[in-house]
Amino acid sequence: MRCSLCLALELEPSDIGVSWRWLANKNDRMDSEIILYDHTPGGAGFVKEGFNNWEKVVKEAKEICEKCTCEKACYDRLKSYSNQSHHKKLDRSSVRGFLGNNGRDPGAGISSVNFFQR
């Protein structure tokens, strides 16, 4: 999502940080949460702009996964130095399923998109 946010807003990857965490839900199922944040101290508003243009961000993510000809993931699309500990798990076909119908389909991997500002 960071890569697609940067492409949609014409940013450098270093402008956006990304993290994740596990969430337990009421059905004893573990979900995860992807957290995007501005690297600029005090925030530059990039993530808020991405939230306001979410369909464009998801469209970029789908295009990243569809244009690539690698088997699972490559440095041109999904891999980076910052996510090297996850390289074996990256798979562009899984990302397409995760995104579903513009990232807002309740049956897809994304159950909600929220914006929190400090």
Instruction: Output the pLDDT for position 86.
Output: 86
- How far is it, in rounded angstroms, from Cα 49 to Cα 8? 10
Distance spanning both ends of the chain, measured CA to CA: 21
- How far is it, in rounded angstroms, from Cα 71 to Cα 48? 33
Mean pLDDT of 60-71: 86
Q: Per-domain residue ranges for the chain?
A: 2-99
Alpha-helical (H) ranges within the chain are 2-9, 46-52, 54-67, 92-99
Tell me: pLDDT of 85 over 70.
yes
pLDDT tens per residue across span 87-100: 898 888 887 777 76
- How far is it, in rounded angstroms, from Cα 45 to Cα 68? 29
Shortest CA distance to 3 belongs to which of 108, 82, 118? Answer: 82
- How far is it, in rounded angstroms, from Cα 10 to Cα 20? 23
Tell me: pLDDT of 71 over 60.
yes
